[in-house]
Amino acid sequence: MKFIYSLLLLSFSTLLLAQKEAVEASKAENPTIQPTIMVIPFARENQDMRNVLERNVHLRVATTKVKEGFDSRGFTTVDFRAKLKQLNNEKAMEIENQSSLKQEVIELSGADIYIETESSVNYSNSGNSVTVIVTAYDAFSGQSLSNKVGTSPKFYTKDFNKLTEKAVDGIIEDFLNVMQEKFNDIVENGRTVSINIGFSENSDYDMDSEFGEDEDLFSDVLEDWFGENAYKGYYHVQGVTATKMILDDVRIPLRDLKGRNYRASKFAAKIRKYLKSLELDCTRDVQGTKIFITIN
């Protein structure tokens, strides 16, 4: 009886160990991807982002408090002010406008998501309060991932820093949860790029040209290629004419095999190499999440 009990205990322990190893192996093969975050101040058009942050104490408190919310969840965060200082004065002066400056800082940071934070003070006879607005954007596409508005309780006080902290505390948990859910969807299903494929005026080809032994139309050949090379095979053709193909939703992965951000330019290069294999010369232009291919 004791022998049978020992045998059952050994079998149970072996099973638990096997399950643990399987879980760990699964985690190793499918590591959780956490985004890198940068929290920035909201600035209206033509407002200097540096001045906005330096002159507004409770806005600095709001951005710091939001950043702390991400830090407490174990996210990797990038300090906006430190990255801003990396852009030396000479380069900052060369940048045409504040929108360009913001984009420059975002690209320099390497952040996957940036959080715009805005705060305002509300005065009233029944007490003062602070309203904080936070919006998360995918740094790659500009897609909004999460947004929340929080207003502190009213108090007869001018300690707006404390009111700002209360406003952030009231929304940060829900804000993080929604943002994480949206980011997980990007990890699972890929990011969206749009692709416009056309022909130069002197090109000998069009979408009705025949390729291969089966003499398939070029448009069909392209669709087959996107089905094999889009992330998880997901693509959508908006329209095809003899001179153009427009794909309004082609998925690309979040990361490449080395764990680096997978940019639209990499997918554009992949298209160019494929067309070259068909002995087609082309030019490419990448504008954010839009890829333009022109076949000569």
Note the pLDDT tens digit of each residue in 11-28: 545 544 544 454 344 334
Give the residue ranges of DSSP H helices in 30-147.
Answer: 49-55, 57-72, 80-86, 89-94, 98-109
Are 296 and 274 contacting, i.e. CB atoms less than 8 angstroms apart?
no
Residue 152 has pLDDT above 80, yes or no: yes
User: Which pTM does this prediction carry?
Assistant: 0.75
Q: Which residue has the tokens 């600035």?
A: 43
Where in the sequence of the chain do the CATH 3.40.50 domains occur?
36-186
Residue 52 has pLDDT above 50, yes or no: yes
Residue 292 has pLDDT above 60, yes or no: yes
Q: In this predicted structure, what is the pLDDT of residue 17?
A: 52
Three-state secondary structure call for residue 259: coil
**Residue with more model confidence, 191 or 97:** 191
Percent of the chain with pLDDT over 90: 62
Q: In this predicted structure, what is the pLDDT of residue 2?
A: 53
Tokens coding 89 = 């004065």
Q: Is domain 36-186 classified as CATH 3.40.50?
A: yes
Which own/partner pairs from 180-184 qualify as long-range (CB within 8 Å, at least 24 positions apart)? Answer: 182/136, 182/145, 182/146, 183/35, 183/112, 183/113, 183/138, 183/145
Q: In this predicted structure, what is the pLDDT of residue 11?
A: 54
Average pLDDT, the chain: 85
Sequence-ordered list of residues with C-beta below 8 angstroms from that of 257, at least 6 positions apart, any chain: none
Q: In this predicted structure, what is the pLDDT of residue 104?
A: 82
Q: What is the mean pLDDT of residues 273-292?
A: 93
Q: How many of the other CB atoms lie within 10 Å of CB of 249?
A: 14
Q: In this predicted structure, what is the pLDDT of residue 22?
A: 43
pLDDT band at 114 (very low <50, low <70, confident <90, very high): very high
